[in-house]
């Protein structure tokens, strides 16, 4: 099966160094793939290359087998949706109006129901009650969830999320990842940049571990989350133990032994 989105031999150079170097990675329909790794590892740069927001200095990105550079911007916006780390809105649009921006690629396209798509997106992101609020008055977490709703309203088969949980509390982190999981279960290809290794392990099918602009491991969470790999990469002792309530592994910073979790 052809991957929905694939990068082969990707490289990106800035300020005299390679921020991404010789990375090959693909995301399939029906899966959530997380990009994880230390600060400055190249995760967001790689996502931007795969989104078409940056042009690679080396390698190629294809979407459904087509070179990304050959796809016109209007069509590309209907094929992939991107949530950046920060969404800047400088005018007092309501939350609903911000979500409606996600429908712009579908203007003058036949058969779309913009109002229904916006309603569904806001409900999925848990922000329907914020519809009439000025975006400028929202908390960081509320604004992040409205930005996620905008991406959902775009209704694209490939969804790229850059740190969608960064401003969220524990409940909303779980909810955001459940949304990503639901998109994949509905047949979409989802790639997400995360710092929380345990959140990634609990909600994703595969993880791509990056360091120094390179992909050092990629596979199921149980294969990627290994203490002997994570400890030197993050520069601290790390223990990987069975999760007390889930089938995924649990990463414990500081090297806690499995017995320390018995009371969890």
What is the 3-class SS of 15-48, one letter each residue?
CCEEEEEEEEEEECCCCEEEEECCCCCCHHHHHH
pLDDT at 245 exceeding the cut of 80: no
Read off the pLDDT of each residue in 157-167 and give the average, rounded to a whole number.
95
Which pLDDT score is estimated for 91? 81
Q: Which two tokens stand for residue 100?
A: 């409606």
Which pLDDT score is estimated for 94? 96
Which pLDDT score is estimated for 257? 45
Which pLDDT score is estimated for 2? 64
Which pLDDT score is estimated for 123? 97
Confirm if 153 and 102 have CB atoms less than 8 A apart.
yes
Nearest to 94, CA basis, from 129, 126, 140, 124: 129
Q: Using the 8-state DSSP alphabet, how is residue 105 labeled?
A: G
Q: Which two tokens stand for residue 122?
A: 């806001």
pLDDT at 261 exceeding the cut of 70: no
Distance, CA of 234 to CA of 228 (rounded, Å): 11
Which pLDDT score is estimated for 70? 95
pTM confidence score:
0.92
Domains and their CATH numbers in the chain: 5-225 (3.40.50.300), 236-264 (no CATH)
pLDDT tens digits, residue range 66-105? 999 999 999 999 999 999 987 777 788 999 999 999 999 9
Beta bridge partners of 158: 80, 189
Read off the pLDDT of each residue in 38-63 and give the average, rounded to a whole number.
97
33-47, 134-148, 243-257: the lowest-pLDDT one: 243-257
Environment class of residue 180 by beta-carbon count within 10 Å: exposed (0-12), middle (13-18) or buried (19+)? buried
Confirm if 132 and 160 have CB atoms less than 8 A apart.
no
Strand 206-211 and strand 58-63: the pairing is unpaired
Strand 80-83 and strand 158-162: the pairing is parallel
């Amino acid at each position: 099966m052809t991957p929905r989105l694939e990068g082969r031999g990707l490289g990106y150079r800035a300020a005299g160094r390679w921020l991404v170097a010789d990375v090959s990675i693909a995301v399939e329909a029906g899966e959530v793939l997380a990009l994880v790794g230390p600060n400055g590892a190249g995760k967001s740069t790689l996502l931007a290359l795969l989104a078409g927001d940056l042009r690679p200095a080396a390698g190629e990105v294809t979407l459904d087998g087509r070179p990304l550079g050959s796809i016109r911007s209007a069509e590309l916006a209907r094929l992939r949706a991107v949530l950046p780390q920060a969404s800047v809105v400088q005018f007092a649009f309501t939350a609903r109006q911000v979500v409606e921006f996600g429908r712009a690629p579908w203007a003058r396209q036949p058969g779309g129901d913009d109002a229904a798509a916006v309603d569904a997106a806001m409900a999925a992101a848990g922000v329907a009650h914020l519809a009439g609020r000025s975006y400028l008055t929202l908390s960081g977490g509320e604004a992040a969830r409205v930005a996620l709703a905008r991406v959902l309203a775009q209704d694209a088969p490939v969804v790229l999320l850059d740190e969608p949980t960064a401003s969220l509390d524990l409940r909303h982190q779980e909810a955001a990842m459940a949304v990503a999981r639901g998109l994949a279960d509905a047949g979409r290809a989802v790639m997400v940049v995360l710092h929380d290794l345990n959140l990634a392990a609990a909600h994703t099918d595969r993880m791509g571990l990056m360091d120094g602009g390179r992909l050092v491991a990629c596979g199921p969470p149980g294969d990627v989350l290994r203490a002997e790999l994570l400890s030197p990469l993050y520069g601290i002792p790390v223990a990987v133990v069975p999760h007390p309530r889930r089938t995924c592994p649990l990463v414990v910073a500081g090297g806690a032994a499995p017995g320390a979790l018995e009371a969890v």
